[in-house]
Amino acid sequence: MRRTPAHPFRVPHQLDVALALRRRPRYRRALVIALAALCGIAVMGVVQRAEQAAAAWGTSVPVLVATRDLAPGDRLDAGNTRVVPHPAPLLPEGVLSTLPDDRRVTVAILAGEVLRAERLAPAGLSAVAARLPRGTRAMAVPVEPGSVPDLVLGDRVDVLVALAPEASGGGPPGFALATDVLVVAVDDAAVTIAVPADTAPRLAVAFGTGAVTLALTGG
């Protein structure tokens, strides 16, 4: 038997489907409804996942964060802070939600870090006072060029006292009055250090009886 050759201009399958849908409106409507249902299911899935994520993270609350790195003694202002939403369950206690008036940080703060009340000095303090650890006193040690290492804010030093022979009374010619002391300010004339409160009077006496110098520590 002789077979009839395939038609050289046979319509592709996709066009067959399109023509069938045009000729049968009921099929077209059913297809549209099915596609709409699939889209609806997909959207519902996205919304459900978003709701689950929101439930997992909890309600967002406004918090104050640093917009740049802050050094101890820096004053908070609108230029270095901003308020952003943050998931409530992830927040530590004492977070700030608004910019306080005339407050300085007592420790280094990194950009993006949430600001907490415990890291702020009382209102109205100077930069040097804000850097003082609790229970310490700021005392300036006069220095001359070349008499101490190049010191910067935040260094740790030992306070050494060298006694004159007549003041040593036959004892050691010098001693360490305080160790691992924080440097809270540096200028050309003096280095200001944070000494323990009970060491401050002894350092004042040492200024009158011997030469006081500072030795940089390695931490």
pLDDT in single tens digits along all 219 residues of the chain: 455 555 554 545 555 555 555 656 666 666 667 676 677 677 676 656 655 655 555 688 899 999 999 999 999 999 999 999 888 877 888 899 999 999 999 999 999 999 999 999 999 999 999 999 999 999 999 988 877 888 999 999 999 988 766 655 566 677 899 999 999 999 989 999 999 999 999 999 888 877 889 999 986
Cα dihedral 178, 135, 112, 115, rounded to 10, equals 180
Inter-helix orientation angle 13-23/25-57, to 10°? 100
Could you tell me the fold of the domain covering 59-123?
Answer: Type Iii Antifreeze Protein Isoform Hplc 12 (3.90.1210)
Q: Are 156 and 182 in contact (CB under 8 A)?
A: yes
Cα distance between residue 73 and residue 120, in whole Å: 9
Percent of the chain as helix, strand, coil, to the nearest 5 = 30, 30, 40
* Strand (E) or helix (H) holding 165: helix 165-168
What is the predicted pLDDT for the residue at 218? 83
Q: Tokens representing 15?
A: 């066009």
Residues of each domain in the chain carrying CATH 3.90.1210.10: 59-123
DSSP conformation class of 4: P
Place of tokens 């040593």: 168
CA distances for 92 relative to 95, 190, 209, angstroms: 6, 39, 50
Cβ-proximal residues to 31 (8 Å cutoff; 6+ apart), any chain: 21
Cα distance between residue 212 and residue 104, in whole Å: 31
What is the predicted pLDDT for the residue at 111? 96
What is the predicted pLDDT for the residue at 11? 47
DSSP per-residue string spanning 97-154: SSPPSS-BBSS-B-TTPBPBGGGBPPTT--HHHHHPPTTEEEEEEE--TTSS----TT
